[in-house]
Homo-oligomer: A and B are copies of this chain.
């Protein structure tokens, strides 16, 4: 049969009483979606009562059911017996699971833990190196269908490694990835809906993709094909959005810059207006940041631009704070005072007030200076989803452009490709 629709079944009274927040649904559904499954429902139920009935309903409607929780050693933990009963098989002791657990806890196994070595007959045990509850997987007959069923322990530190190491490859095979493999990319500044649309336009040979939103970036996973084909698809994408917005591997926008500085053994400082400290904050998110970050100034008021950076009154009066002349003087000013190798300057209109016809909200000027490099400046018009969004995007742009500037790339060429930000 074809396996396509999936259900998640999360068991835990602490969830339905609101004591803790569920951590599995997003992780599992994003991974299943990436493999090509359609997650049709995610159900959270308490330990007591209605598990069997709700699970039966899931099985009647989905091809794959992933369960988490209810594998503990107490009488509340009923996942094993419920699955066995739905599959109409007895629970049997899994020899290997028993031996592994016996090695770890010895004679104590004869208490409640012994039941944790039982699995439904015909199912396959999944070892759990981080806890006493083994998982299991197998098929539950339902009419002429065979529903794939996987049970995993509830605690994330046990579930997560079991899922990624043992269950994900199995599910990949089940949906038809013979040789399941994937590549990870980090994308910046492209709205998720646009990224989806662009991937659709460049995919070929059945390559699939999945995305995961994480704070300042969206992770992009290309699935299927061989690694060369996935690279071709990523390169197609880069040709549409610019190479600086799609980066190999799992990196944050600040990593691009700080890894480069670390490699070159160089330092940076920054002068911020509209981002008001957020770039400085991002540059110090990682341990050891004193190796590359000197410090900077937040020159929110115009007087601060004059006092701390020596921006001229003439510049501010003639061109305003959001201008090429101003960010050039800001970049030069902080570089000279800091004596760092490089500097970043940002001045823009975050809104919701302060926009004008000439300089609408989202207009941001970026300036860059280096010890032995002519100062450069470039303007970007950010789409505006509110003050916070403009500030966050401007910070990401500054970090990306700084790394391009240090590498000697033309900034105008770089931002020219950014039609979607």
Contact = CB atoms under 8 A, between A and B. Distances in A.
Interface of A: 15-22, 25-33, 38-46, 49-50, 53-54, 57, 61, 192, 211-213, 269-270, 272, 275-281, 283-285, 287-290, 293-301, 303-304, 307-308, 337-339, 351-353, 387-388, 391
Contacts of A30: 17-19
- A270, A281, A288, A353 — which one has the most chain B CB atoms within 10 A of its CB? A281
B281 A276 contact: yes
A31 B18 contact: yes
- A38, A39, A42, A275 — which one has the most chain B CB atoms within 10 A of its CB? A42
A22 B22 contact: yes
A298 B295 contact: yes
> How many of these chains are in the complex?
2
Q: Is the interface of A mostly helix, strand, loop or mixed?
A: mixed
Contacts of A287: 351-353, 387
Contacts of A33: 16-18
B44 A16 contact: no
Contacts of A43: 41-44
Given A25-B18, A42-B43, A213-B19, A298 B285 contact: no
Contacts of A284: 276-277, 300
B22 A18 contact: no
B19 A22 contact: no
A41 B45 contact: yes
Contacts of A42: 15-16, 43-45
Contacts of A294: 300-301, 303-304
A354 B15 CA distance: 36
A297 B49 CA distance: 53
A295 B300 contact: yes
A49 B40 contact: yes
A143 to B, nearest CB: 18
A316 to B, nearest CB: 14
A16 B40 contact: yes
Contacts of A45: 40-42
A302 to B, nearest CB: 9
A379 to B, nearest CB: 21
Contacts of A41: 16, 43-45, 50, 54
Given A42-B43, A277-B280, A287-B387, A26 B31 contact: no
Contacts of A18: 25-33, 39, 212
